[in-house]
C-alpha cells in the first residue's frame, strides 16, 4: 500500500514527538524486558496507575530470570491493583520461555519474540520499535482513532476489515529510521490531541495539513457495543481463630490461582445475616456482590481453606476482594 505524503507524515510525527513527547520511565530505557513489562501493564491499565506501579514492579522483577523464579502466587500478588491477571501469568510464561529457550537473554529475532507466550501483533511492534528501533508497525486504540480521522475512513475499527486496513496503514507509514519516536508519537497524538473523549485539538495537530476528516468527532466508527450484563453473587465471610475462609479459584477462570471470599447459592444465604453489598464493573459485567456472615460451624467446601491473618497480605486476590478483606479483618 502506498500513501501519498507518507514520508512527510512520518517525519512530522517524529518532529512533533521530539518537541512535545512526554517523559515516562519506560521511555528512558531501550531494555526489551523493561519495554515488554510496560507494554503489558499499559494494555488494560491507565497511565497514571502504571506510573505508580511500574518502577516498583521492575525493582522486584528486574529481569526475566527474576520473574521466572517467582512462584505464581508471588507474581499474582505483585499484580494486585493492575487487574486483568492473565497478563501477569502470560508475562511469567514469557519470562520462563526466555530463560529456558534463550538462556535468559531477551530474543532479538522477530520470530522468536512473536513465539513468546501472550505476545500479540501490538506487543511485537512495541518491542521491536521501542527497544530495537526497528521499523515495525503497531496499532492500538489511539493509533486507530488517528488513522480513521486522518484518512476519513468509516470502516468499523474493531471489525476484521478495519483491523486489517489499519495495520496496512501502520506498515506503510512507519518511519524507516526512527520507529521508536514515530510509534510513540502516533500513540501520544491519540492520547493528547486527537482524543476520543472530547473534540480533537486540530489546531495543535502536526498532521492537520494532510488530515481528511470532515467530522472528526464522528470517527472512529465502531461495531455496536455488547450489552452490559448484570450479575449477582452471594458470598460469605467467616473469620475464626484459624483465619479467614477463602476459596482458591481454579479451572481456567479469569482469576485462576487467586483467592476470593467463598461463594454460595442465593438460597443458602437467605437465612444468614447480611453484611453489605459491593458493586463493581468488570469488562461488560456489572457485578453486585451480597456479603453474608457465615456461622462458625460452616464446613469448608473443596477448594476452600482458612488463611491465617498473618498470611493475607501475601495472598493474591482481586481488588474487590482485597477491599472487603481489609475492611473486615481490620487491615
Contacts with ligand SF4, residue ranges (CB under 6 A): 146, 149-150, 193-194, 200, 202, 205, 207-208, 211, 213, 216
Question: For residues 202 and 287, which CB has a smaller minimum distance to ligand SF4 in the complex?
Answer: 202
Minimum distance from CB of 201 to ligand SF4 (Å)?
A: 6
The x, y and z cell numbers of residue 132, run together, are 530495537
Catalytic residue among 8, 39, 199, 311: 39
Minimum distance from CB of 135 to ligand SF4 (Å)?
A: 21
| Residue 4: how many other CB atoms lie within 10 Å | 7
- Contacts for 95-99 with beta carbons within 8 Å, 24 or more apart? 95/61, 95/64, 95/65, 95/66, 95/67, 95/68, 96/64, 96/68, 98/33, 98/64, 98/68, 99/64, 99/65, 99/68
Question: For residues 152 and 329, which CB has a smaller minimum distance to ligand SF4 in the complex?
Answer: 152
Q: What is the residue whose three cell numbers read 453486585? A: 288
**How far is it, in rounded angstroms, from Cα 257 to Cα 261?**
13
Pure H helices in 103-154: 110-114, 121-126, 132, 141-150
Of the candidates 186, 174, 182, the one whose C-alpha atom is nearest the C-alpha of residue 146 is 186
8 A C-beta contact, residue 326 and residue 269: no
**How far is it, in rounded angstroms, from Cα 297 to Cα 36?**
48
The x, y and z cell numbers of residue 124, run together, are 511485537
Question: For residues 188 and 321, which CB has a smaller minimum distance to ligand SF4 in the complex?
Answer: 188
Question: For residues 149 and 248, which CB has a smaller minimum distance to ligand SF4 in the complex?
Answer: 149
Minimum distance from CB of 159 to ligand SF4 (Å)?
A: 21
Question: For residues 198 and 281, which CB has a smaller minimum distance to ligand SF4 in the complex?
Answer: 198
Minimum distance from CB of 268 to ligand SF4 (Å)?
A: 54
Q: What is the residue whose three cell numbers read 522477530? A: 110
The x, y and z cell numbers of residue 70, run together, are 517467582
Question: For residues 106 and 147, which CB has a smaller minimum distance to ligand SF4 in the complex?
Answer: 147
Minimum distance from CB of 153 to ligand SF4 (Å)?
A: 12
**How far is it, in rounded angstroms, from Cα 77 to Cα 313?**
9
The x, y and z cell numbers of residue 226, run together, are 455488547
The x, y and z cell numbers of residue 69, run together, are 523464579
Strand 285-293, strand 229-237: pairing? parallel
Judge whether 80 counts as a catalytic residue.
no
Question: For residues 208 and 293, which CB has a smaller minimum distance to ligand SF4 in the complex?
Answer: 208
The x, y and z cell numbers of residue 144, run together, are 486507530
Q: Annotated catalytic sites, by residue?
A: 39
Amino acid at each position: 500500500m502506498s500513501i501519498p505524503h507518507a514520508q512527510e507524515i512520518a517525519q512530522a510525527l517524529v518532529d512533533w514527538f521530539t518537541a512535545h513527547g512526554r517523559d515516562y520511565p519506560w521511555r528512558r530505557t531501550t531494555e526489551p524486558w523493561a519495554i515488554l513489562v510496560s507494554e503489558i501493564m499499559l494494555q488494560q491499565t491507565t497511565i497514571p496507575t502504571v506510573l505508580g506501579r511500574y518502577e516498583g514492579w521492575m525493582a522486584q522483577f528486574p529481569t526475566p530470570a527474576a520473574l521466572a523464579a517467582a512462584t505464581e502466587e508471588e507474581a499474582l500478588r505483585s499484580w494486585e491493583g493492575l487487574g486483568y491477571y492473565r497478563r501477569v501469568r502470560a508475562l511469567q510464561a514469557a519470562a520462563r520461555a526466555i530463560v529456558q529457550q534463550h538462556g535468559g537473554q531477551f530474543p532479538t529475532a522477530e520470530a522468536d519474540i512473536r513465539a513468546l507466550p501472550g505476545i500479540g501483533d501490538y506487543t511485537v511492534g512495541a518491542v521491536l520499535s521501542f527497544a530495537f528501533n526497528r521499523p515495525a508497525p503497531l496499532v492500538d486504540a489511539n493509533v486507530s482513532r488517528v488513522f480513521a480521522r486522518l484518512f476519513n475512513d468509516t470502516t468499523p475499527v474493531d471489525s476484521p476489515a478495519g483491523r486489517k486496513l489499519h495495520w496496512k496503514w501502520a506498515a506503510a507509514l512507519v518511519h524507516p529510521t526512527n520507529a521508536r519516536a514515530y510509534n510513540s508519537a502516533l500513540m501520544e497524538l491519540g492520547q493528547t490531541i486527537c482524543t476520543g473523549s472530547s473534540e480533537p485539538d486540530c489546531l495543535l495537530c502536526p498532521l492537520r495539513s494532510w488530515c481528511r476528516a470532515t467530522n472528526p468527532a464522528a470517527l472512529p466508527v465502531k461495531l455496536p457495543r455488547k450489552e452490559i450484563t448484570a450479575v449477582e453473587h452471594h458470598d460469605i465471610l467467616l473469620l475464626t481463630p484459624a483465619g479467614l475462609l477463602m476459596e482458591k479459584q481454579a479451572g481456567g477462570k479469569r482469576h485462576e490461582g487467586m483467592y476470593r471470599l467463598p461463594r454460595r447459592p442465593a438460597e443458602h444465604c437467605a437465612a444468614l445475616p447480611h453484611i453489605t453489598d459491593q458493586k463493581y464493573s468488570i469488562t461488560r459485567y456489572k457485578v453486585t456482590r451480597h456479603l453474608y456472615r457465615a456461622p462458625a460451624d460452616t464446613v469448608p467446601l473443596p477448594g476452600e481453606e482458612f488463611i491465617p491473618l498473618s498470611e493475607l497480605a501475601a495472598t493474591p486476590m482481586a481488588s474487590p476482594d482485597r477491599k472487603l478483606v481489609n475492611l473486615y479483618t481490620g487491615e
